Amino acid sequence: MSEIIQFISNNLNMIYILAFAIFLGFEIISKVPTVLHTPLMSGSNAISGLILIGAILLIRVTPSDNYITLILGTLGIVFGSINAFGGFAVTGRMLEMFNKKRKK
């Protein structure tokens, strides 16, 4: 129990951000038109490519001779980058198509 309290007091800032961000996420999306559902899903999927940052931060503190971790970390960065770069590029293409349709 004391450890849970310790965890909360150590991460109080994070908990505040967490709570506010949940409401913010709800608010931002609540009025989105149906046509934007797929591009928005794709866009938010690309944002979760942020996960790559975690892999970078962990690999930076890994000892240089710990090859198993380094390889796992590099794989993590590769997959995270595919998610981030690919995600934003795909979203861009979807929106391009969407704009063309609107102009016609």
Partner 1 sequence: MTVFFDILLFISSILLIVGLRKLSHPESANNGNILAAISVGLGIIVSIFYPMETQNNNYLFIALGIIIGGIIGLIAAKKVAMTAMPEMVSLFNGFGGFSAALISLIWLINHNSSGGYADLSVVLFNLFLGFVAFTGSMVAFGKLSGKLKDNHLKIPYASIVNITLLILAVVLIGVFAYQGKLTHVHLILFTVLSIIYGVTFVAPIGGADMPVVISLLNSLTGITAAISGVMTDNKLMLLGGILVGSSGIILTLLMCVAMNRSLVAVLFGSFSSAKAGETAN
Question: Where in 44-73 is the site for partner 1 (CB under 8 A)?
Answer: 44-64, 66, 68-70, 72-73
We find the least distance from the C-beta atom of residue 104 to partner 1, in angstroms, to be 14
Complex with partner 1: residue 3 or 104, whichever CB lies closer: 3
Asked if 12 interacts with partner 1 (CB under 8 A), we say no
Asked if 4 interacts with partner 1 (CB under 8 A), we say yes
We find the least distance from the C-beta atom of residue 100 to partner 1, in angstroms, to be 11
* Distances 81 to 22, 25, 36, 40, 41 between C-alpha atoms, Å: 25, 23, 24, 19, 18
We find the least distance from the C-beta atom of residue 36 to partner 1, in angstroms, to be 6
SS (H, E, C) 57-103: HHHHCCCCCCHHHHHHHHHHHHHHHHHHHHHHHHHHHHHHHHHHHHH
Asked if 3 interacts with partner 1 (CB under 8 A), we say yes
We find the least distance from the C-beta atom of residue 102 to partner 1, in angstroms, to be 7
Q: Residues near 76 by Cβ (< 8 Å), separated by ≥ 6?
A: 51, 52, 54, 55, 58, 59
